[in-house]
Homo-oligomer: A and B are copies of this chain.
Amino acid sequence: MNFKLKGVEIIKMEAKLINEFKSGDSIEGFFLIKGVSVKTSSNNKTYLDITFADKSGEINGKKWDSSSEDEELYTENKLVKLRGNISEWQGRLQLKVLKIRPSEDEDNVNIEEFVMSAPEKSEEMYNELIKYIDRISNKDIKGITSHIINESKDKLLYYPAAKSNHHSIKSGLLYHVITMLRSGDKLSDIYTHLNKDLLFAGIILHDMSKLDEMSASELGIVTEYTIEGQLLGHIIQGIKRIEKVAELVGADKEVAMLLEHMILSHHYEPEFGSPKRPMIPEAELLHYLDIIDSRMFDMAKALETVDSNEFSDRIWVLHNRQVYKTNIK
């Protein structure tokens, strides 16, 4: 692939995805700046310490001898074109920037393509979510759920489910909820004593106040936790929200209390934020659907870049386990 960088013909540089980089590669292409800080090197010059990303992953890079103009040009969530070398430092790959410029309109590249996103379209997932709400027959449960989702739609379309860890991708929260709804729907056909209304509403609302706990850009990147997010957390924020909306829509107190209990208990263990454990079966199942969905996601992601009969690295969110890729056919 040949292309021009600021008018100069470049030959034989590789246009790889980040997850294909190897030590020794000379690469070029478009990347998203996910984080940047200005630092001073041991020879007393400033440089930019940048996290570059594409849809396949992230890499740390250095732009040495940076100017103050550079500091203004290369900021978070900017798309850039660059040429660089890949080396290894302390067991991790690093990108040394040789040339860099901001992406321009004529480049015809779409920032959306540089962000890891849920594998399904937001709008389609959102419509599917609405259908699940439509299936709720208890009018109070439906009223509360419907109201909160309406209020949340804008953010829900792009918010990730976490700062890092599982589903920390664009629309990750919505994707997480939809997958859990599908699983919950199936399992409540097997465990028929469960109340589907409660289960669907619990799934839909369980993490909804992550929209208030974290600040995220429209690219689905969490920039920080909010103050209230840190002092109270999304579980408490979610309970306060249900309480308010329940009053607004005139819902039965028992309904509000049960939904609040489901939110409160869905992390299951006190040390993970749930002061009460589930006391209704729908809350119990909610917890396990949540955990299954995050584990299946994290394991699939871990195995993506692993060969058959090999182990992944240790993965912190999976209790520091390595995951093994079988070759069973």
Contacts and interface: CB of A to CB of B under 8 A. Distances in A.
A322 B279 contact: yes
Counted per complex, copies of this chain come to: 6
Given A279-B230, A323-B279, A328-B141, A40 B284 contact: no
A324 B40 CA distance: 30
Contacts of A292: 187, 285, 288
Nearest to A312: B279
A130 interface: no
A195 B280 contact: no
Contacts of A239: 232, 236, 239-240
Interface in A259-302: 260-261, 264, 269-281, 284-285, 288, 291-292, 295-296, 299-300
Interface stretch (A50-58, A82-90, A152-160): A82-90
Contacts of A187: 183, 186-187, 292
Interface stretch (A104-112, A121-129, A162-170, A250-258): A250-258
Interface of A: 23-24, 37-42, 44, 46, 85, 87-89, 96, 138, 141, 179, 182-183, 186-187, 189-191, 193-195, 197-198, 227-228, 230-233, 235-236, 239-240, 243-244, 254-255, 257-258, 260-261, 264, 269-281, 284-285, 288, 291-292, 295-296, 299-300, 303, 309, 311, 319, 321-324, 326-329
27 contacts: A24-B46, A39-B87, A40-B88, A40-B89, A182-B190, A183-B186, A186-B186, A186-B187, A187-B187, A195-B326, A227-B324, A232-B260, A232-B276, A233-B275, A236-B260, A243-B244, A254-B328, A255-B328, A269-B270, A270-B273, A273-B275, A274-B275, A277-B319, A277-B321, A281-B300, A284-B295, A285-B292
